[in-house]
Structure 1
Amino acid sequence: MGIYKRKGSRYYWMSYTLDGIQQRVSTKTTSKALAVKISKRREGEIALGVFRVGWAGERMRFEDLCEEYRESHVSSLSNSSKDAFKSHEKHLVRFFGGRMLSEIDTPMIERYKNDRRHQRTKHNPDRTVKGATVNRELETLQCMMKMAVQRKYIGGNPASGIEHFPELRERPPKKRIAPEEFVRILEKSPPHLRVGILLLEQTGNRTYSELFSLTWSQIDLDAGLIRFDVPLKTKASGEPEPLSRLALDVLRWWKAQMNGISDFVFPSPRDPTKPIRSVKTAWRNTLKRAGIPHFPIYHLRHNFCTRVGRVASDAVVTKAMRHSSAETKRHYQLGMVEEVREAMNPAN
């Protein structure tokens, strides 16, 4: 393997042998020092078996990879995950669309990351896209490129070394809801949201992928169980969920109120054949009427975990939350300041 100057070209060229055949390729640089580095890198790639002539990625567009990934991976995901991929794909194709996979490298992905972070949001032009949103898109891109490597379309994953944006500063602090606040929220909420809030507080369900997409056929009121028969976030999420007496009473009352108008527990007000898509506006207005600073409705899941954790073992909490690991509880359980204080007092 060596470098040389070719007549009529301003670039340095390199020659090497691959599978017994001599190859001559331009390094695309006029710097001899850089050409030497490129040549040595190619030599290493050949030695490690990660370089081939004629990668499929040289002829495959990014949109084609999206289609393959959608068919082989996304089709088996939950509806919320499918919606998330659809959103990620839209923004990724807008930037990488029309490019061959072999053209997409780490610097290009870094440009996407920074450009996307500075884009204005659709609904609030005064704000830019959150780092957490960009991180989810980068994770999707990384998974897609990983599949491309596994299928021998490209030699390496250009997205694997991309550093993500820090998210902790963007996230609202987890709120511990006082009993009197919870009562005020219930008093000021519309009927469908009031039922949803009570069930979220009693089950710890994920807001949209689990609770607000439920059908009556998934609820066994006699056995006191929710049977999830659709793809969810994790394998453990699909296990049957026991319902408390209060949750059962609420569901029986709500079923009588609905009077069979829909198969969904929370049907869309516009089309009862579909589940309600969002309760964000109703939730925001409810908190405003209750005089409580805004916090995400998802925090009800954190409060459920904390409440059950006071009286049950880690194994029971893990089962109640339908987590795959007991370690996940640490993320959901809120700071137990009063509990720690009560435990310390006897020591004095």
Structure 2
Amino acid sequence: MSVYSVKAKGWRYDFTLNGTRHTRGWFKTKGAARKAENERREEIVNPAPPPIQSETIQTDMAFLDLVNRRLDHVRAYNSVTHYRDIKYHGRRWVSHWKGLIVGEITTEMIELFLKGRLEVSAHVANKELQYLRALFNFGIKKRFINNNPTAGIEFFPIERRKKYIPPKDDVLKAISSGDPEAQQYLWTIILTAARVGEINALTWDDVDFDRKLVTLWTRKRKGGNREPREVPMIQRLYDILRYRFHTRKDDLPWVFWHTYWSRKVGQWVKGPYGERKSLMKALCKASGVRYFRFHALRHLTASMLDDLGVPIGVIQRILGHQNRRTTEIYLHTIGEADREAMAKLEATQLLQGDLTSLSEGPTNKHLAFWHRKVTKRPQYNVLMREVEQLGYKGTGRKYGVSDNAIRKWIRAYESSPKVIQ
């Protein structure tokens, strides 16, 4: 049935001609929808000649088709992990808006969907919005659609938490609890500051023993370009990789690989690792330390380099960041430079005095206590110590008088040497 009605909306036509679907709504009457359908069929059968140097631009398409086009693009231009992430979200979107045309999806519908995801967490809802916005922007860029219903929708506020970076002792405990292969794997991550995906994809062609360089490849670039960066090998990393090269049993290209059951081919195959999520859980549990992920090792290496005084530009190149601000996020631990700075503050004259007079004073008293009328002046040595620590104004506020009054007290003491003694 090419013409049908939808309750509370009106009539629309929907037909397929030459393998292409054509639909439009909402008409007030069935006759108006039928007339518009006939006009559209006539336009398709007898199209008007296109204007010179013009392009035919598609203005709408099925939502399912847009998601599939987006997945094809991500598969070609981005990493496998990103493709898997988009596919995971895409299944939820298609299930939610199954059978709809992109133009039928409104801003209100997306806001309602995001509120449902907000019940999980604000981070989850913001991730959905980020990927949905990219989906519709992709459609506009490719001229499949001409409107982005996520425009104007703001991200939900989130409570940012300090990312946990394990202490060096905990890292060593976790590493020592693993088998030799796991230990070599973790040390390679630490000594290259690499992403776990970069180590999983590392091949022997990327290891240059003569120049002591490791080439890491990433697709985390605009446009999905796969780009390399070289990281120098220190002696410990050189020994690990040299040992693995000489003791490898199979002529496989990967530095780290495993044997796993492939559901695609229905047999056991050898290939590179995927994510290895269970490895860190098992090692942390066995060593009795707080759980941390592989990415924390990358943060740890960056922070250690920062503590050693390595310039941030060098750390940025080692981490493979294009933006300096991204590198600064990794340098969030309290290092030796921060401790040295606070130690210099502690050594100042302000903090060298005796604080017994302050500790003996009342705490959390009502404001009127500090504005009370002074009936007894402090001794000269106490007064001078407080002036040195708090200043004239601070001492005056403590005793409820002006700073000039404090100066008069001092002059009075100094005019009577016997009182000072």
Which TM-score band applies after superposition, normalised by the shorter structure? 0.7 to 0.9
Larger strand fraction of residues: 2
The offset of 1:162, in angstroms, is 2.6
The offset of 1:166, in angstroms, is 4.3
1:136 counterpart residue number: 127
Matching residue's letter, 1:225: L
- Decide whether the 8 Å contact of 1:206 with 1:298 is kept in 2: yes
CA offsets, 1:244-273, max 9 Å, x none? Answer: 222121111223333335322221331553
State the aligned residue count.
289
1:183 counterpart residue number: 172
Aligned runs of 1:11-160 on 2, under 5 Å? 56-58=58-60, 60-118=61-119, 128=120, 130-160=121-151
Indicate how the Cα distance of structure 1 residues 117 and 217 shifts in structure 2: closer, same or farther if over 3 A, else same.
farther
2:294 counterpart residue number: 297
Indicate how the Cα distance of structure 1 residues 230 and 177 shifts in structure 2: closer, same or farther if over 3 A, else same.
closer
2:186 counterpart residue number: 197
Whether 2:165 is the aligned partner of 1:164: answer no
Indicate how the Cα distance of structure 1 residues 267 and 133 shifts in structure 2: closer, same or farther if over 3 A, else same.
farther
Percent of aligned positions with the same letter in both sequences?
A: 22
2:273 to 270, 273, 276: 276
2:18 counterpart residue number: none
The offset of 1:100, in angstroms, is 0.2
1:319 counterpart residue number: 317
- Give the match's secondary structure for 1:226: strand
Matching residue's letter, 2:123: A
- Give the match's secondary structure for 2:95: helix
Matching residue's letter, 1:212: N
1:222 to 203, 210, 214: 210
Q: Once structures 1 and 2 are overlaid, which stretch shifts more, 223-232 or 212-221?
A: 223-232
- Give the match's secondary structure for 1:301: helix
1:50 counterpart residue number: none
Matching residue's letter, 2:274: R
Larger RCO: 1 or 2 (CA < 8 Å, sep 6+): 1
Whether 2:329 is the aligned partner of 1:331: answer yes
Whether 2:343 is the aligned partner of 1:345: answer yes
The offset of 1:338, in angstroms, is 4.4
Indicate how the Cα distance of structure 1 residues 224 and 84 shifts in structure 2: closer, same or farther if over 3 A, else same.
farther
For structure 2, the residue ranges without an aligned partner over 5 or more in a row are 1-7, 11-24, 30-55, 261-267, 348-421
1:213 counterpart residue number: 201
Question: Looking at CA atoms only, which structure, 1 or 2, has the larger radius of gyration?
Answer: 2
Q: Once structures 1 and 2 are overlaid, which stretch shifts more, 254-263 or 317-326?
A: 254-263
- Give the match's secondary structure for 2:148: coil
- Decide whether the 8 Å contact of 2:213 with 2:230 is kept in 1: yes
- Decide whether the 8 Å contact of 2:259 with 2:270 is kept in 1: no
The offset of 1:75, in angstroms, is 0.9
For structure 1, the residue ranges without an aligned partner over 5 or more in a row are 1-9, 13-23, 29-53, 119-127
1:45 counterpart residue number: none
